[in-house]
Amino acid sequence: MSRIILHVDMNCFFAAVEQQADPRLRGQPVAVIGSAKRTVILTASYEARAFGVKTGMTVHEARNRCPQLILVFADNRKYTRTSSGIIEILKEFTPQVEVFSIDEAFLDITGSLKLFGPPEQIARLIKERIREDYGLLCSIGIASNKLLAKLASEMVKPDGLTVLQPSDVPDVLEALPVRDLCGIGKKMEEQLRSFGIKTCGDLGRFPVRILRDRFGVTGDHLHRMGLGLDDSPVVPVEEADDVKSVSHSMTLETDIEKDAEIRKRLLQLSERVGRRARRHEVRGKTVTLWIRYRDFSSITRQLTRQQHTDDSSEIFSSACSLLQAETLMQPVRALGVRLSNLCRRADQLPLFEDEGKRALIGRAMDRVNDKFGSGVTFGSVLGEERGSKVISPSWRPEGARNVEFEEPDDGKRD
DNA sequence: TCTGGGGTCCTAGGACCC
DNA sequence: TCTGGGGTCCTAGGACCC
């Protein structure tokens, strides 16, 4: 039996939330940014988009296009709360809700029709509820799978409701640029063009054997995408896979070269990574150091430890040994630390007394930081927090992907 | 006053083991 | 006097998503 999938896409989410929170911003060209320096536009209101302001653009460029642009710093608590509330609304219509990002979700409403009526009616009810409760608009696409539902939601913005009937799919795909499919980016678009493939129609007709030879397993996937086929299920948050890595990175206000300065930043990053790992009860074996140089080229260096850890100072010491082994080629623009190869923290007794002490200190610091904000560290006197407070699109309402800005826990863990 | 941050997945090569 | 091959783990880099 064929499925009925909805894709709900909040329109200009961050900017729209800000306009709701502050009536003076309504009807104005607004752009949300992450930090004061070396930042990009995270979201622009439709008023700003009318001037050509886009996500990813530098502030400078955005101001050139729209001199009266109003810049607002991202307030992630606001966005995560709103997003969680919207997800709750969606769950009233089906338990099959997959949170795709902070402002997008897929719903499998195949089993909801008897209760709530036909798909379009369900979509209208959802739009009404979100508008009533939060004053926000969304675009909804309805189709037989996720790929097509997402495509449909993109077709009318803002406040769209688009149904892609199976009988319409071949015509729609025939002229649709491959780049419009979720999963085909700039590079893949270029590669496909070298085969003479420009549209989904071209892609679907292209011999799958050649795609497979060139792209491996991705080749089959591409072929199916070209035909509008996608049998991937809607995966509710509760059933989603465990997180696979935890990372933090920061672009520095100015490029740095000195080892001590770099290590100071690595300590901050390691502490944030360790803290999130502990909070979410995962430990990791592999530590990765990421360096972006002045010219934007970047390197990664990783090492795999003997044992899993969630200890900030151990993460830090791994990051430092990776740094030490490296000859820096240029001043450093940005730094990152990642912990991967994760397992759930087993609550076993620590092997050594020292390890136990460090774990206790780590968790005590976490509690202080939860209460009073970040800044309590392993003794280094650090400057102000420089890390950008940008919420990741991979944010999830629960779990380790809930990057920052979670409510402090109740402190009862230990 | 160029160009954010947090993720996932894939590839390719090498070490090592059986 | 032969020189296979599968499996697993590790590392580095890159594409892609929002």
> Residue A100, CA: closest nucleotide via C1'?
C18
> Residue A184, CA: closest nucleotide via C1'?
C16
CA distance A391 to A403: 7
- For A62-85, b/e burial (b = at least 16 CB within 10 A) is beebbeebbebebbbebbbebbee
Q: Which two tokens stand for residue A406?
A: 């979670």
- pTM, two decimals, is 0.88
CA distance A380 to A317: 14
Q: Which two tokens stand for residue A129?
A: 């509820």
CA distance A237 to A389: 24
Q: Is the CB of A325 under 7 A from strand C?
A: no
> Tell me: the pLDDT tens digits for A89-137?
999 999 999 999 999 999 999 999 999 999 999 999 999 999 999 999 9
Residue A271 annotated in active site:
no
Amino acid at A6: L
Q: Is the CB of A55 under 7 A from strand B?
A: yes
The active-site residue out of A18, A47, A104, A271 is A104
> Tell me: the pLDDT tens digits for A22-40?
999 999 999 999 988 899 9
Share of chain A above pLDDT 70, in %: 84
Q: Is the CB of A140 under 7 A from strand B?
A: no
Q: How far is CA A186 from CA A178, A181, A183, A225, A296, in A?
A: 10, 11, 10, 16, 18
Q: Is the CB of A394 under 7 A from strand B?
A: yes
Report helix, strand or coil for A173. helix
